[in-house]
Structure 1
Amino acid sequence: MAPHFASGFDFTDPELWERRSPVAEFAELRRTAPVWWNAQPDETSGGFRDGGYWVVSRHEDVKEISRNSERYSAQRKGAIIRLPNDTTPEQMELTGALLVNMDPPKHSTIRRIVSKGFTPRAVEGLRAALTERAARIVHEATRSGSGDFVQQVACELPLQAIAELLGVPEADRRKLFDWSNSTLNYDDPEYGDPTAAFAEIIGYAWNMAEQRRAHPVGDIVSTLVHAGLDGEALGSDEFGFFVVLLAIAGNETTRNAITHGMKAFVDHPEQWELFRAERPRTTADEVVRWATPVNAFQRTATEDLEIGGAHVRAGQRLGLFYSSANFDESAFTDPFAFDIRRDPNPHVGFGGTGAHYCVGANLARLEIDLMLNAIADAMPALTELAPPVRLRSGWINGIKSWQVRYG
């Protein structure tokens, strides 16, 4: 059997994701061709010009590829499955300094240092401040009566959590938000120049690292740029790339998870009543599964191999489509039911298993939990005024705006 798609169909087409998630097409792939070649002409290849990529749609295959860095490289062609079409080889090489685009052993070293900022103790240390801020965010939105949920509610706590973690002054926090938007959302004409925004974040973070290296103040930045007993520390350039990744992965993705999650609650009012009454600890993971803020990351085969019945050649790209794997009928009971009591919940919304599992997963869970609890306490009757406006992106499952009435 083979899937039947229109000529030129591309699972990373930004216009497709602006309209909808290709749920039916993913289901067809899981049934007929779980690892399927998606051809791409050079002009629509998202910067790669290599003929296309393999769509990996099943949960078990996504997990298998995620846990094997030797056979499936994040570094050779990067983890971002669709770049701007005018991306140069020099720009692609520059992004190799991002943790998400590294392979062991370099990845292991940088991740070990970065993880110091996301220990259970470090994350728990943010709880009191973020709880107060979540309540303040919701209170201020409620006073307006109605508005854009993304701008007024969802975007604020993830941004403040990152700023709090890094010690970014209040006056600079909006700049961090705007830079991350432009860096990530290059397929959407509403946003600015991604190259300039990328450089702005790098420059800002480099200066922060230099200041903390000269005058440590006992915060996480000081910890990351000063060698501890193990002798490991981030250079100022490495810290800059870490902040880029944090601003994108920690801000955009959690914001979209909160928005998708609240939209799911509006569409499934019985789940909202259950959450308000019981506040299950399993809620955040079901929200992440349902939202799947990152549609896909990619790996590149380092050797000829076979997976999911497909013969993959060395150098070919494989798209790990979390947005398909998280609704795989073979991995989840009734996957298209939004169920905040779902347990177990082996979702791959934090990047699957293996070396690239999201280092900030526990912080994201905390933010989602705090934000939903604050909404349940202060605006339990939130209703939709207009459908969400989806982001035009080939790999981010984003919502740009969502008009609601607070209650």
Structure 2
Amino acid sequence: MRTLLAAATSLIALTAAAQAQPDGWSEAEIAALDTSIQQMMREEQVVGLAYALVDHGEVSHVAAFGYRNLEQAWPLETDTVMYGASLTKAAFAYLVLQLVDEGLIDLDTSIAEYLPRPLPDYATDDDDWSDLAGQPQWRDLTARIILSNGTGFANFRWLEEDGRLRFHFAPGERQTYSAEGFYILQHVIEAGLGLDVRDEMQQRIFDRFGMTDTSMQWRPDFRDNLADGYAMDGTFEPHDERSGVSAAGSMDTSIADQARMWAGFVAGDGLSEAARTEFVAPSQIIRSPSQFPTLTTEEDPRAAAIGLAAGLGVITYQDETGHWFDKGGHNPWTGNRAICHEETQRCIVLLANSVRAELIYPAITELAMGPNPVPWWWVYPEQFVD
């Protein structure tokens, strides 16, 4: 990592200055960034990487390099369908905030108020919350606590020794990243409010931002232009056809669509000023030394130094230039990251079908955004050496 950052130093002067320029990145800066990214990809054997720049809430540049399938030498394009992974959580949070604006749900009201019967009474194959019987803490869950990952659950129940869902901390006590919480809020919206999350995401997020190659559920037309995955050791993983809708991570998408989505998010399109403020405001203080493992009680002073906290579906932090927020999406063959600066409404959005791309994201981000407080030690602790 230090080698990559050192190699990038000569180019930082080209792009760091752009942060203060009202006209954004110049053509020369973008060309230098494109060249540098491709060089780093070769050095780290990254199969495919796509990225976008957003400036003052508008898409400034979109590019894709490498392959969507290395074996077939099929190039990765800006409209290639890729896993969104946990970037889905930020999009879902934005949807929930629209429902807040319409008075359909309140961020700080117990989820029990929206369900026709107690949550543990739901025990179908798709929505089984019977593990929470005898755990009355579920009534303390709110949309804010869930979206800021303060549920107190493990990330997934299958990580528990007995495979059963349980509270490790009281809701709101600590930030504990959990897909299970997002599943619960999806259930509340569907069973309690009578809304279909797939349809609502399509209409309120994907259609709003012109995301024609994005869906919460597999579409047959994706098959001709999708990205297969590659693990850290280069192992191939075909892109699967996900039939289920998951607020925590089922979004298929492209870099062109993600560019439009994050441009909309940073500009606050579709939300009231109050709701947009809630999106990136600190809702749950983060004290942990890393995002994973999720249930640690250890603390790291670097978190407090940048005001590290969970917003709603995103994380947020500060430096002398102002307020930053971001979201990642990761699995063994996917590495995604969107990083935005509030005051300039600038973002860099990174999607990769090769998890090795995460090795070069810090260098790319510094080239594009200039000096920044992104807590790489927290998001990629196994890769980043301080």
TM-score relative to the length of structure 1: 0.29
Q: Write 1 or 2 for the structure with the bigger share of helix.
A: 1
TM-score relative to the length of structure 2: 0.30
Q: Write 1 or 2 for the structure with the bigger share of strand.
A: 2
